[in-house]
Structure 1
Amino acid sequence: MADGKGRYGGTANRLSWENRPQWLRRRVKDTEPDDSDREALLLAVADAGMPLAPAAYPVAYRCSCERIGCPTPGRHPVSFAWQTQSTTDRAQIQRWAEGEPLANFITATGMVHDVLDVPLEAGRKALDRLLELGVEVGPVAESSGDGEQARALFFTATRGTPEDEDEWWPCELDCRPETMDEHPGLRWHCRGSYVLVPPARLPGDHEVYWVRGPELTLPDPLTLLETLTDACAQFIGEQEDIEQEVAWPLGR
């Protein structure tokens, strides 16, 4: 199991994205992790207190659940009881991993941790900015993909408790919070939601992988929120500018 340096955390985190070696930005495609790597990464998540449950996995461009037209292939839990099924028990996770060697895994949010989920480009810029400011950033994962599927996942301590349950919104992977106008591009996964954890395979040769490992301390989400929302707003504004430039000649 990694020690927090090199592959997914530690010493290289203060490098700019442009100067980071390819192996740090994402795993090399032609060297798939063996079963021991996969199991070690999953157990590291469990050891950090984040509960896990089995998820579907891609079969070519389809989903292993075999649902016709599955809207989130390879990205959803196997069981409808995933919230109660989720566990940090190492023996159970090992049984799942050995019994389903191709399965992805999700972690249920809102129990121990939340996840701030932003567009990948915005997340990379925000991470560099946070590290420059000396902010303590916890685990960070990336989900490669096309368009909206390319995301950066910032793992934080949870702010969801029974006392303030109405303060935060539950958010499925394919949903947006009601306050999206205030936080463009941001999804806040808390109670009632989940995210995929690395290593996870997605359709189209995409994947979810660690940039900063799960052994890092979970920060308060509010210490990251302003920088993330600023980066998201800038990213959304740039996208709108591009769309307007492209669309203008078509309207003449």
Structure 2
Amino acid sequence: MERRSRLAEWLRRRPGAPGTARGGVAAADREALLLGAAAASFPVAPAAHPSGFGCSCDRVGCPTPGMHPVSFAWQTEATTDAAQITRWLLADPPANFITATGAGHDVLDVPAQAGRIALARLETEGSGTGPVAMYGDDRMLFFTASRGTPDDEDEWWPCELDCHPETLDEHPGLRWHCRGSYVLLPPSRLPDGSAVTWLRPADLPLPDPLPLLAVLTDACGQVPEVPEPEAAGGWPSR
């Protein structure tokens, strides 16, 4: 409860306040959130951030401003090393950060309305949710244990819900971020001025994805599917 109260306090801080980084979260608190995610074994890598009416990257007309990794080598650069994360923060204080999925953890990503239905059911049943984040006002991210990366590729379990950065538009409902994908971590900022924020902290035990998948699938079935506008700045496509 104390952890959630502190997060609410951080998010109420106004941009431009002394010691506050762009996006309204103090630099020390940004570092604490990212190092907390790394301590929970979420490998992180720097991402671009919204800048003016566009993106901090050098791509003219970037279609996903502030929502993609800085480097194309993000999968190998992603790390839980606190010293490296601190260096990245010092080099680019406003940077957003992603976590690479598919090794130590996956992410089940659903519309916010379905996420709220699922959370209410899980709380009623007394089931653990694991870490949960809000992606702006539109999506909810449920962090789970990973299916892993077996040595024998023939044993890899494919799933039609698998979602990679280049296929996100194909999954407007439930998305499963596993190997080869990523999600933005709190306190990343989105182009519409909203942010990625924790609803349940990163240090909670990761649940088995399959029982949670069943709950989220049922919840998504209770929500009318509304296509996401391409210009709305959904998930990254690069």
TM-score range, shorter chain: 0.7 to 0.9
Residue correspondences, number: 215
Equivalent of 2:72 in 62, 66, 80: 80
Partners in 2 of 1:47 and 1:83 — Cα distance? Answer: 18
Partners in 1 of 2:110 and 2:13 — Cα distance? Answer: 24
Equivalent of 2:25 in 25, 28, 33: 33
SS in 1 for 2:33: helix
Partners in 2 of 1:155 and 1:200 — Cα distance? Answer: 16
Q: Write the mapping of 1:188-199 to structure 2, written as runs, cut at 5 A.
A: 188-199=176-187
Amino acid at match of 1:224: L
Give the aligned partner of residue 193 of structure 2: 205
Name stretches of at least 5 consecutive residues in structure 1 with no aligned partner.
Answer: 9-22, 241-252
Q: Does 1:6 align with 2:5?
A: yes
Measure how far apart 1:132 and its partner are: 1.1
Partners in 1 of 2:13 and 2:159 — Cα distance? Answer: 38
Name stretches of at least 5 consecutive residues in structure 2 with no aligned partner.
Answer: 16-23, 228-238
Partners in 2 of 1:61 and 1:120 — Cα distance? Answer: 26
SS in 2 for 1:231: helix
Partners in 2 of 1:5 and 1:70 — Cα distance? Answer: 34
Q: Tell me if structure 2 keeps the 8 A contact 1:185–1:233.
A: no
Task: Assess, with a 3 A threshold, how the Cα gap between structure 1 residues 217 and 58 changes in structure 2: closer, same or farther.
Answer: same
Equivalent of 2:62 in 29, 46, 70: 70
Give the aligned partner of residue 17 of structure 1: none
SS in 2 for 1:132: helix
Partners in 2 of 1:206 and 1:158 — Cα distance? Answer: 28
Q: Tell me if structure 2 keeps the 8 A contact 1:110–1:193.
A: yes
Partners in 1 of 2:120 and 2:6 — Cα distance? Answer: 18
Partners in 1 of 2:132 and 2:167 — Cα distance? Answer: 21
Task: Assess, with a 3 A threshold, how the Cα gap between structure 1 residues 152 and 29 changes in structure 2: closer, same or farther.
Answer: farther
The percent of aligned pairs where both chains have the same amino acid is 55
TM-score using structure 2 length: 0.82
Measure how far apart 1:203 and its partner are: 0.8
Q: Tell me if structure 2 keeps the 8 A contact 1:144–1:207.
A: yes
SS in 2 for 1:115: strand
Q: Write the mapping of 1:149-168 to structure 2, written as runs, cut at 5 A.
A: 150-162=138-150, 163=152, 164-168=155-159
Over residues 201-237 of structure 1, what are the superposed CA-to-partner deviations in whole Å (9 max), with x where a residue is unaligned? 1112111111111011111111211111111121126
Give the aligned partner of residue 219 of structure 2: 231
TM-score using structure 1 length: 0.78
Q: Write the mapping of 1:27-176 to structure 2, written as runs, cut at 5 A.
A: 27-28=11-12, 30=14, 32-145=24-137, 150-162=138-150, 163=152, 164-168=155-159, 170-173=162-165, 175-176=167-168
Amino acid at match of 2:108: L
Q: Tell me if structure 2 keeps the 8 A contact 1:73–1:203.
A: yes
Partners in 1 of 2:51 and 2:148 — Cα distance? Answer: 35
Q: Tell me if structure 2 keeps the 8 A contact 1:160–1:168.
A: no
Measure how far apart 1:174 and its partner are: 5.7
Task: Assess, with a 3 A threshold, how the Cα gap between structure 1 residues 177 and 203 changes in structure 2: closer, same or farther.
Answer: closer
